[in-house]
Structures are given as C-alpha cells and as structure tokens.
Chains A and B, each alone.
Chain A
C-alpha cells in the first residue's frame, strides 16, 4: 500500500526542550561509552505515515502537501522538512 511520509521538525531557531533533555541523558551515557562522546545535540520531530488506497499520484501528493502545511505542522513553530512516497508503511530495519 503506497505510503506518504511527512516529516516535521521544530523550527531550528526555537528551543526544543525535549531534544535538550534527551541530549543531556545521552551526554551522561557518553561519559562511559566513548563512541557517544561526540554527540553535540538532539532535536525531536515527528514522522507521519499516511497510507493511501490506490495510487499516490500527483493530485494526492499535492493534497497531502497542503495538509502537511496546514494541519500536520504549524508554521509558527514547525517546518515540514520532507515529504516522500514509499511502497508500504515502515517496518523495523534489519
């Protein structure tokens, strides 16, 4: 089933308290795992996977792009950073 993936991130210039808290925790892991010591920041966004019955054609993509800008994100605080189509909803990486 075609799946349209929409990715949204908090605006780069805004503070992301969630990402900051996670970065702090990873920093503590970095004290014992040298491979993590170079992590300098984390930002947390959202990934939407929209399943489509039928083809994800240009009309559908255009409509989803409008949804991405108007509903899935709020342009005051967030940016849509990616929209792409894949063959199926994501599954775990091997």
Chain B
C-alpha cells in the first residue's frame, strides 16, 4: 500500500503528511510537482503550505503544475485524493472539488486546535469514523473561509458531501461552518484543518486525558488504507 505526497514549491507539511502515512501503516512515496509520474501509488495527499507564496490565489498556480495532469486523471478514475489546507485550495482550483476558499472573515491567520464533526463517514478518507464523530485537530491558515454559490451549497448539503463541519464556533466565516467537502464519488476530499498534525501522542492537540495526546487525525489515513485494501 503506497500513498504519494506531492511536494510543490512552498509546501510545508509534506513531511508531516508522509510521517502520518507511515504511522498509519502504509508506505509514503515522495512525488514532485514538476514530474508527470505518480510512481504507481494507490492514493494521494496534496499537503499544506504556501505553494508559490499564494501568488494569484492560494493553490491556483500549483493547480497548473505538470503533475496535476496525472493527479486529475487519477482522481477522475477513482483514486483516493486528500487535499489538506493548501491542498484543498488546489483541489478547488483544479475543479476536483466544488467551492472556493477566501481570506478569513476577521482578516487574521488562525492557528489553534479545532473541534470538528465528521458528517460523512462514507468517503474514502473517513470510513473509520463513527457517524457524526467529534474530533479535534489543528487548524492553521489565513484563507480558510469556504465559499460556494447557493446552488452548489444546496447540492453539497443535499448529497451529504460535507465531510467535516466546525464545532464550538466558526473560526473563519466559512458558509454553513464547512471545514471539508468531498466529490460525488467520495474519493476526493478537501480539508482546511490538518489531520497529519494529530497522529502521534506527544505531538497532537491536548485532550482531557493528557497534554498533546490527541491522535484524531490518524483515522483519515487508516480509513484510506482500509478502503484501498478492500478494493483489491
């Protein structure tokens, strides 16, 4: 089981994503934005960061990278793809996911541990969660406010494509408190918060049990591994 992580110029969380994949039990494969080769991976992560310095629009220039041709083809053929933060922005810019992300409504970069409710546990990346599971993972971005037309929003809601919703207050002005969405097929998921930063006790969010012991993010990665193994 091999999961690729694409590094773009300005990616920051590619190594954390690779580490999360290894901790979940798969091999992490480093992929490069300038290549046209997915090296036979079974799933893909587009990591967080500030590709191309957020020039033009966050994720816009990265979405035109050479490797995105292969990423878009693979996604359209059903390969599981997770975009985290800047990766989510790339997926919207590449039209693999609906909606768009704009500056946080209060104009501030927000970095904090964030409560989420997982409202779709049938996507390739969320099957390991109980229905409406409440989790805490880090959120850290300046342009995380999810926007979509009324029509798109109705479709996302009506088709159960809201993967995660903010709980305990909306941090950034996202419509309907949306933190993550999926496509109709459920293989492509975009999340503004960072599951890869909550995968190992000692380095995750605080919990009632112990400081920094939160590992809620790991389930995204174990979910996709289980899904790919079942599909074989």
Q: Would you call B102 an interface residue if the criterion is a C-beta within 8 Å of the partner chain's C-beta atoms? A: yes
Q: Is the CB of B107 within 8 A of A20?
A: yes
Interface size class of A (residues with CB under 8 A): 10 to 19
Q: How far is the CB of A69 from chain B (nearest CB, A)?
A: 13
Q: Does B126 belong to the interface (CB within 8 Å)?
A: no
B160 at the interface (CB under 8 A from A): no
Of A14, A20, A71, A72, the contact of B102 (CB 8 Å cutoff): A14
Instruction: Verify if A76 is at the interface (C-beta below 8 Å from B).
Output: yes
Q: Is B173 in contact with A74, judged by CB distance below 8 angstroms? A: no
| Contact, CB under 8 Å: B149 / A18 | no
- State which size class the interface on B falls in: 20 to 34
Most buried by A among B93, B145, B147, B152: B147
Q: Cβ of A77: which chain B residues have Cβ within 8 Å of it? A: 57, 100, 102, 147
B99: nearest chain-A partner, CB-CB: A76
Bound state CA distance, A30 and B35, in angstroms?
53
User: Counting CB contacts under 8 A, is A82 at the interface?
Assistant: no
Interface residues of B (CB under 8 A from A): 56-57, 60, 64, 92-93, 99-100, 102-107, 145, 147-149, 152, 173
